[in-house]
Amino acid sequence: MFKEARLNLTVWYLAIIMTLSASFSAVIYYGINSELRRIEHVQKIRLQRLVVTFPHLAEFVPQEVEAVAEARHKLLVTLGFINLSILILAGGGGYFLAGQTLDPIKRNMDEQKTFVSDASHELRTPITSIRTEIEVSLRDKNLNLSDAKKQLKSTLEDIIKMQSLANYLLELNKYDNKKLEMKKIDLKKVAEEAVGKRKLVKNFKSTFVKGNHEALVEMVSTLVDNALKFSPKDKKVIVNVSKKKIKVIDKGIGISREDLPHIFDRFYRSDKSRGTEGYGLGLSIAKSIAVAHGASISVKSQPGRGSEFTVSF
Ligand code: ADP
C-alpha cells in the first residue's frame, strides 16, 4: 500500500515539476526564437541587397541563413536535454521525498498495528481463562456451591484484570490527546499525594511548575509503585523533589542494558518482570504525562544495583 502511495506521490511531484519546466522551456524557446526570426529577416534583406549589387555572386548566396537555423536546432536540443535531466533528477528526488513524507505515517500505522495486536493478546488470555473455567464447570455434574464460588472468584479476578487493562488503554488516549488543564502547582504536594502512606525516604522541597495535579500524581505513583515492586522489601526507596525535578531512586533489581531503551514502550516488560502484575503500560503512560507537560523523563539503572528515574520540568 505504501509502495503504491509512494509511486503515486512521485508521479504527482514529477507532473508538477515537469509542467513548470515545460512551461519555462516554451517561454524561453518562444522568446529566443522570435529574436532569431528577427535576425534571420535582417540577414535575408542584407543578402538580397548583396545579390542586387553583385548579381554574379547570386549562386554563392545561401537560400536560408544557416547559422540561425543551426542556433534554433541547438536551442531545441539544449532545452530537450535540460528537460530530460530535470525529469531524471526530479524523478529520483521526488521518489526520495515521497519516501520521507510517508515514512512517519507508515511508522505510526505500524505502531498502531502492534498496539492493537498487543492489546488483543493481553485481553485474550483472561477471556480464554474465563471461557475454559465456565465450560469445565458447566460440564461438571457434581458441581457444588463451594466449587461454583471458587470458580466465580477466579472469574472475578480475570474480569478485574481486563477492567484494569481497559482503564490503562483509556488513560493512554487521554494523555496522548494532551487536553490537560494546567495551572501552577507544587510538585511537593504532588509527591506527597502520590507516596501516600507508603514507607519511603522523602526529601521534598516546594517547587512550582505549570501542570495538572492529578495526572502528575499518577505519573509519580507509577514510578513509586515500580520502585517498590522491583526492590526487595528491606531496601529503601528514595523520592527527591526540588528545583523542578522529581527523582525516584531504588536499590532493587535494576534494568538490563537491553531492556533500558524499551521500558517506555507500550506493553514492554522485561523477562524478569513477567511473573509480576502489570501490562507494561505504566511507564508509557508516565512518559505521555511528562510529554504533555513539556517535561522529560529519563532513567539510569544498573542490574542488581537499582534504578533512578528523573522527571525534569
Ligand atoms: P509494568 O506494569 O510491567 O510495571 P511499566 O511500564 O511500569 O510496566 O514498566 C515496564 C518495565 O520496566 C517493567 O516490566 C520492568 O521490567 C521495568 N521497570 C520499570 N521500573 C523499574 C524499576 N524501578 N526497577 C526495575 N525495573 C523496572
Ligand 1 pocket check for 252: Cβ under 6 Å? yes
Which residue has the CA at smallest separation from atom 8 of ligand 1? Answer: 280
Q: Which residue has the higher pLDDT, 57 or 229?
A: 229
User: pLDDT class for 169, splitting at 50, 70, 90?
Assistant: confident
Reported as a pLDDT band with limits 50, 70 and 90, residue 260 is very high
Convert 244-277 to b/e letters by CB count within 10 Å (16 or more is b). Answer: eebbbbbbbbbbeeebbeebbbbbbbbeebeeee
CA distance 116 to 187: 35
Q: What is the DSSP letter of 310?
A: E
- Please tell me if the CB atom of residue 248 comes closer than 6 angstroms to any atom of ligand 1: no
Q: Is 93 in the pocket of ligand 1 (CB under 6 A)?
A: no
Does ligand 1 come within 6 angstroms of the Cβ of 191? no
Residue-averaged pLDDT of the chain: 90
- Is residue 156 over pLDDT 70? yes
User: Which band of pLDDT confidence, cut at 50, 70 and 90, is reported for residue 276?
Assistant: low
% of the chain exceeding 90 in pLDDT:
63
Is the model more confident about 177 or about 215?
A: 215
Amino acid at residue number 184: K
For ligand 1, whether the C-beta of 211 sits within 6 Å is no
278 C-beta closer than 6 A to ligand 1: yes
> Which pLDDT score is estimated for 274?
62
Compute, in angstroms, the gap from residue 55 CA to the centroid of ligand 1. Answer: 104
The model's pLDDT over 279-289, given as tens digits with 9 standing for 90+, comes to 889 999 999 99
Whether residue 301 is predicted with pLDDT greater than 90 in this model: the reply is: yes
Contact of 241 with 203, CB cutoff 8 Å: yes
Which of 168, 273, 289 has the most ligand 1 atoms within 8 A of CB, as the residue to mutate?
273
Which amino acid residue places its CA nearest to atom 16 of ligand 1?
A: 270
Query: In the structure, what pLDDT confidence band is assigned to residue 44 with cuts at 50, 70 and 90?
Result: confident
Res. 224: pLDDT tops 80:
yes
Ligand 1, from 238, 283, 301: best to mutate by most atoms within 8 Å of Cβ? 283
- What 3-state class would DSSP assign to 118? helix
| Torsion sign over Cα 212, 217, 220, 225 | negative
CA nearest to 266, candidates 110, 127, 126, 129 = 110
What does the pLDDT read at residue 63?
60
Q: What per-residue confidence (pLDDT) applies to 57?
A: 74
E runs forming strands in 128-264:
183-186, 201-204, 208-211, 237-242, 245-250
Q: Outline where 177-265 has alpha helix (H).
A: 187-195, 213-229
- Of 244, 265, 194, nearest to 224 by C-alpha is 194
Identify the pLDDT of residue 62.
Answer: 67
pLDDT above 90 (res 171): no
The answer, yes or no, to whether any atom of ligand 1 lies below 6 A from the CB of 281, is yes
Q: Rounded to the nearest whole angstrom, what is the distance from the C-alpha of residue 283 to the centroid of ligand 1?
A: 7
Task: Name the grid cell of 183.
Answer: 495551572
Q: Are 221 and 194 in contact (CB under 8 A)?
A: yes
Residue 275 grid coordinates: 511473573
The predicted-structure confidence for 82-96, as pLDDT tens digits, reads as follows 999 999 999 999 999
Out of 168, 225, 226, 257, mutate this one to test ligand 1's pocket (max ligand atoms within 8 Å of CB): namely 226
Beta strands in 80-230 (DSSP E): 183-186, 201-204, 208-211
Q: What is the pLDDT of residue 201?
A: 94
Among 48-62, 104-118, 128-142, the range scoring the smallest mean pLDDT is 48-62
